[in-house]
Structure 1
Amino acid sequence: MLNIAATLAHWCRTHRPCAVATVIIATGSTPLPVGTSMAVDADGNVAGSISGGCVDGSIYDLCQRMLTGNGAPEHARFGSSDADAWAAGLMCGGNITVYVQRIHPADRDHLAIALAAVGDEQPVALMQVTEAADPVLAGRVLPLFDDGTLPADPPIPAQLAALAAAAHRTGASTLVHSPEGPGCAPASALVHTRRPAPDMLIFGAVEFADALSQAGRFLGYRVTLCDARPVFATPDRFPHAHRVVTDWPHRFLARTPTDERTAVCVLTHDPKFDIPLLRDALQRPLGYIGAMGSRRTHARRLELLRAEGVSPSALTRLNAPIGLDIGAVTPPETAVSIAAEILARTRRCPGTPLADTSGPIHPRAVQAANVP
């Protein structure tokens, strides 16, 4: 649902009736992950896509029927094992279960506020009730607050609320099930989560940095360009960076919060900048650390880092020379090479051509990861 946040927020603010179809289960090779939604409004306008095209026509018809019918939510399944797989199924070989519903009028206002936060790059969490014995609860979409609590109205079964709060803390969109128990009917909910954009820190105001900042922004990173030389580190030279900072790289990193999704790209290949910067970076739980330079430059860099006390295990985290071997020469090509390596490392994939692999090309573990 967060993939269509801007349009859905507008439709909710203007109280435009709409139906939303959301992937709640995905198995095998499917193009889009759990939580992906497609919406249709009363005028037939469409936002988003469920499958990249192959079942969207059928989903559109289901949404229109939902808008003109009695409004009761439905589950629909599409997959390669269906008899009509080639007509409306997933020819890529996977299977998806889609939950189709109308947006409840009582949910519009708070849903508009929550979805607007996605555009502001704020963390967002929603709980979408996909199965409930109480028809009043089925199809409700409610915000999950930062402390894991939900609005008081409508009342949500305590066990389902607790499971939703636990899923919220993982940072990944997850379908949770509350089993039947004493005084509790079975229920299910899809928890949609959106963490703030991860940071890409690029050090070195060089020509390659402009292309890399554009690639990083395209991938959903919040890009910061840092260089100690004020004549080079200017916003005009790096229009794609969200922020341009003039400071010594190691000093800037020392005061900058980072996490396990942060990508650090060192493009200066100058020891007086690189060594103190990398000494700090390699002690942090970053998602990616790469440094530009020739193999000779990197060999000397490793000697200096060892002399600074950086451990062998820490040095194995340094990707240098930076980027994948795709024959890149120009700055844009090099940016693609670096971006591809960042994706491969952060998602723990080998970067092998898909033609040389077997099995699903959209692993569930990768799709569930809430990273760019």
Structure 2
Amino acid sequence: MEDRNHLGKIKTTNRVEVIGNGLIDIPMLQLLKSDGSEHENAQLPELDQTLALKIHDTMEYIRILDERMVAAQRQGRISFYLASTGEEAAAVASAAALSPHDMIMSQYREQGALAFRGYTTDQFMNQMFSNKADPNKGRQMPIHYGDKALNFMTISSPLGTQIPQASGYAYGQKMAGNEAVTICYFGEGAASEGDFHAGVNMAAVLNCPVIFFCRNNGYAISTPSEEQFAGDGIASRGIGYGVKTIRVDGNDPLAVFAATQEARRIALAEMCPVLIEAMTYRLAAHSTSDDPTGYRSRDEEDKWRAKDPIARMANWLTHKGWFDEKQNKAKVDKARQDVLAALKVSETIPICGIEEIVEDVYDSVPWHLQDQLTSLKAHIKQYPKKYPKTSGSVR
């Protein structure tokens, strides 16, 4: 019988050797400079004009959507929002390197990946306004999207839950013989959750075709990365778990596309997980409940604004002769008009009735949920002024 004892893989030494000082010097893939020019000898991915423009246009659309919805939250029209300003390339360019059959499991700042796959402005709005046109019937917080047709798993609020789920889903894809992978997005803060360690280790041991995509945007809400961990980012953890790992400039759309394309190739060819750490920066607040001026400086933000992924991509497209400023302005203006028009329509669509709260969970509504519904109706009847009239009939 083959000796599978792990000690057979370990070198021996006859002197005490202490390994590691926190940094192992993992390189970062970068193809475009901050001004959009190509690095000398950069190995660019194959990218035609149509796809390159779609990546750029989707990033720009998401920024417009984010700006409008943050304003809508400030106006009291929606309750909550998370913007991806500065991180658009991480989500959009990685999604562009996938197959439509690949499953996406998101954290909550990857609306760009969903938009790239075809999620419409009306769908975004209906989810955020929790109205009757929302497939989830308003049971999720705003920005907790999901779409079965687009292979985008519904977002869950607790950090890191999607990581072991992604390993399990990818294992199922492998068992079914599908030519597909699962990509799992999360931030570097979520990598401190136990689910990260369990999920990555599970994928490594079971050889699951999953791409773990970490957006290292510098902050876990208000906690900077240097106060979160002493090691060399999240990439070193992938290596520690025996997972093939790539570190990439998350503000370089071409580098993100190339890294994800290669990660997908490896995951399918070798039936194994791959971890990508995208080094980026959250220019926006963590959410509309956050004020970043309390924990970082304007100078720091300005340094990262100079690395804007949208401007970077536009400059590269211009160098290629693929970018028309006049046409782009027309697209931006139309996107703004479309977002505002969809917002105005969605906020007028009624919300679901009270009865629908207990539906779609069981084949028939069980007694305990029915009792809870009865109690809720009685409560609303007792305090009618505390609830909007649009909260459904109370009979």
Task: Give 1 or 2: higher helix fraction.
Answer: 2
Whether the TM-score (by the shorter chain) exceeds 0.5 is no
Per the shorter chain, which TM-score range? Answer: under 0.3
| TM-score (ref. length: structure 1) | 0.24
| TM-score (ref. length: structure 2) | 0.23
Higher relative contact order (CA 8 A, sep 6+): 2
